[in-house]
Amino acid sequence: MELKIEQGVTKGSAFLEDDGKRAAEMTFSIASPQLIIIDHTDVNEHYRGQQLGRQLLDAMVQKARDENFKILPLCPYARSEFQKDTSIQDVMR
């Protein structure tokens, strides 16, 4: 499975592909150079239970650390993960 992050001027997505099919996707909006908003996470029903959403979130957290921005998790899944895991709260706004 391959993880990719695509980013435009105002929106982007992190996703996992399996043989050319999207297994999971996390979408975000770019509010400013210092802030992105994670607004949706979706995992294809055939891939649920494999922690794919968490893999996407971890990739976004690493990107935030590398590029020095904060994440506002509006997506219920991302918000829940940020609340549970203190090790990633350094990038949460």
Q: Which CATH number fits the domain that encloses residue 26?
A: 3.40.630.30
| pLDDT for 15 | 99
Q: Which domain holds residue 59?
A: 2-91
Question: Using the 8-state DSSP alphabet, how is residue 87 labeled?
Answer: G
pLDDT tens digits along 36-54: 999 999 999 999 999 999 9
- The count of structural domains within the chain is 1
pTM to 2 decimal places: 0.94
Q: Which long-range contacts (CB under 8 A, 24 or more apart) does 86-93 make?
A: 88/57, 88/58, 88/61, 90/65, 91/61, 91/64, 91/65, 93/35
Question: Under a CB-based contact definition with an 8 Å cutoff, are residues 86 and 28 in contact?
Answer: no
| pLDDT for 50 | 97
pLDDT band for 74, please (50, 70, 90 cuts).
very high
Question: Using the 8-state DSSP alphabet, how is residue 92 labeled?
Answer: B
